[in-house]
């Protein structure tokens, strides 16, 4: 679902967008909603003709910028399908979460504390410029922060400063203000933003909505 929401928004902003999948024919052949009730891709594609569907490696070769919005538990395999040669020198924005739903909600994480999905991707594809961001909000809020009234913050992490500037440009096009984006430093910062998601899903259950965000407040330490 995340990939479709992001693709539709980017296409609406005038970007040329493709979605990658292992087997385009199989993806288009599905006629039933998935386990989460997401409509079949072919039905969605009929309403978004400005977004193309390509095999993973073809999508990677085409793209100037890659967004990983795959199922986080399978992201490494999915990005391997894109191909290291197609990622070399490119910005890879990682919005995915390594969720383990085997015990129900709220989910656990397949990696935490001493590692993160963002770091795993950077290690596996050292020639790519991985930037972790947008993973602390629901996909609809990713592309439209005004969906939730008031001020709120996003986080960004990555080892390449120029790549983070590219990612910030995408965030701004979605409506996020630069001063609302907190830079967590290198890609190791992905650990904190990914681990927040345990609390996020618990809050979503309690509040009955996934429209939940963070606002960070800093106390006035002057004179202390």
CATH number of 81's domain:
3.40.50.720
Q: pLDDT tens-digit profile of 133-159?
A: 999 999 999 999 999 999 999 999 999
Angle at 90 between CA 24 and CA 127, to 5 degrees: 105
What range does the domain containing 138 cover?
2-207
Q: In what order do the strands lie in the sheet with 181-183?
A: 65-68, 91-94, 129-133, 154-158, 181-183
In a domain, 19, yes or no: yes
In a domain, 219, yes or no: no
pLDDT of residue 59: 96
CA neighbor of 69 nearest in space, from 133, 125, 129, 160: 133
> Chain-centre distance of CA 86, in angstroms?
19
Q: Please state the φ and ψ torsions of residue 63, each to the nearest 5 degrees.
A: -75, 145
pLDDT of residue 219: 85
What is the count of structural domains for the chain? 1
In a domain, 24, yes or no: yes
201/183 Cα distance (integer angstroms): 23
Token pair for residue 38? 């997401």
Find residue 99's DSSP bridge partners. Answer: 109
pLDDT of residue 224: 53
Q: pLDDT tens-digit profile of 53-81?
A: 999 999 999 999 999 999 888 999 999 99
In a domain, 216, yes or no: no
In a domain, 54, yes or no: yes
Residue 126 has pLDDT above 90, yes or no: yes
Q: pLDDT tens-digit profile of 82-111?
A: 999 999 999 999 999 999 888 888 889 999
Token pair for residue 67? 């967004």
In a domain, 58, yes or no: yes
In a domain, 220, yes or no: no
């Amino acid at each position: 679902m995340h990939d479709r929401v992001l693709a539709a928004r980017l296409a609406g902003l005038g970007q040329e967008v493709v979605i990658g999948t292992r087997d385009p024919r199989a993806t288009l052949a599905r006629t039933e909603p998935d386990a989460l009730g997401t409509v079949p891709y072919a039905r969605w594609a009929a309403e978004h003709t400005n977004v193309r569907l390509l095999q993973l490696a073809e999508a990677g070769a085409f793209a100037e910028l890659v967004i990983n919005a795959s199922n986080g538990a399978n992201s490494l395999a999915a990005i391997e399908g894109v191909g290291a040669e197609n990622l070399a020198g490119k910005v890879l924005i990682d919005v995915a979460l390594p969720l383990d739903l085997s015990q129900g909600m709220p989910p656990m994480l397949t990696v935490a504390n001493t590692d993160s999905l963002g770091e795993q991707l950077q290690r596996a594809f050292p020639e790519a410029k991985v930037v972790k961001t947008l993973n602390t909000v629901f996909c609809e809020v990713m592309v439209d922060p005004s969906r939730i009234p008031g001020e709120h913050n996003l986080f960004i992490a990555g080892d390449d400063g120029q790549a983070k500037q590219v990612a910030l440009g995408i965030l701004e096009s979605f409506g996020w203000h630069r001063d609302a984006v907190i830079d967590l430093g290198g890609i190791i910062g992905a650990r904190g933003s990914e681990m927040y998601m345990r609390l996020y899903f618990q809050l979503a259950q309690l509040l009955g909505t996934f429209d939940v965000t963070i606002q960070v407040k800093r106390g006035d330490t002057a004179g202390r």
